[in-house]
Amino acid sequence: MKRIFLLVATNFAVLLVLSITMQLLGVDRMLAEETGMNLLGLLLMAGIFGFGGSFISLLISKWMAKRATGAHVIEVPSNMTERWLVDTVKRQAEKAGIGMPEVAVYDAPEVNAFATGWNRDSALVAVSTGLLQNMSQDEAEAVLGHEVTHIANGDMVTLTLIQGVLNTFVIFLSRVIGMIIDRAVFKVERGQGPAFFVTVIIAQIVLGVLASIVVMWFSRWREFRADAGGASLAGRNKMIAALERLKLNHEQPAQLPEAVKAFGISGGVGVGLKRLFMSHPPLDERIAALRSGDR
């Protein structure tokens, strides 16, 4: 809750400073006189819409993940593998200081796992049948530690809040840019001309792409932290071995739905501009970071 409060407070503080700055510079007065635009109202509207979708997605993330993957939550272990999964997650959760997550298995040939949930004490850890079939117990233990660390670090919440902040600014700035272009370039004196709507759409696309680069940068950074946490919970050699195993199975295309793909453990391969939009760092970099102890 402290993490949520601080990030939300920071966002509204930034919005307040932006609003005050525009008032001091007379930008809000000029826009109000020329266009009738209420910047404070626009800021509030952008904040509501920017955070609204992100928070709703977070609150229903477990339900969506179960539906999207067909994950079977282990209520009562039916075999030794399920018993080991539940016991391992329980032990790691206690060590990490979080509530016991739900543990689930979903049917997919890929070697993957993910964690999601709206808070540290109401989360879900799911592993694929492909992971259970292709990884040793030590490697699977490290993967579970990686996912438990995501929960302990509050990564799902933080990523949602960062997305909400960026959504807010994309909505706000695109409309300010649209109104300025409408008046300055196309000389529309009253109301909103066609140029406003066209400019808003283009600005939202451009700003949205830039915002996604920031989100993906954070997503890659948190993977390094989760790897380090997995190494702490299960052992560094086990975590390295798990990532090496992922490399060997990386030819198998990812089957995770878009709704939870960013939360999977599998890495990516990208060069040039494509790298900016990767949710996970390349596996070689993650392995090197663990070996050197840089992360």
Q: Which of 102, 110, 141, 147 is catalytic?
A: 147
Give SS3 for 255.
coil
- Does residue 110 carry a catalytic annotation? no
Tell me the residue ranges of DSSP E strands in the chain: 72-73, 102-106, 113-119, 122-128
Distance CA 263, CA 261 (A): 5
Active site residues: 147
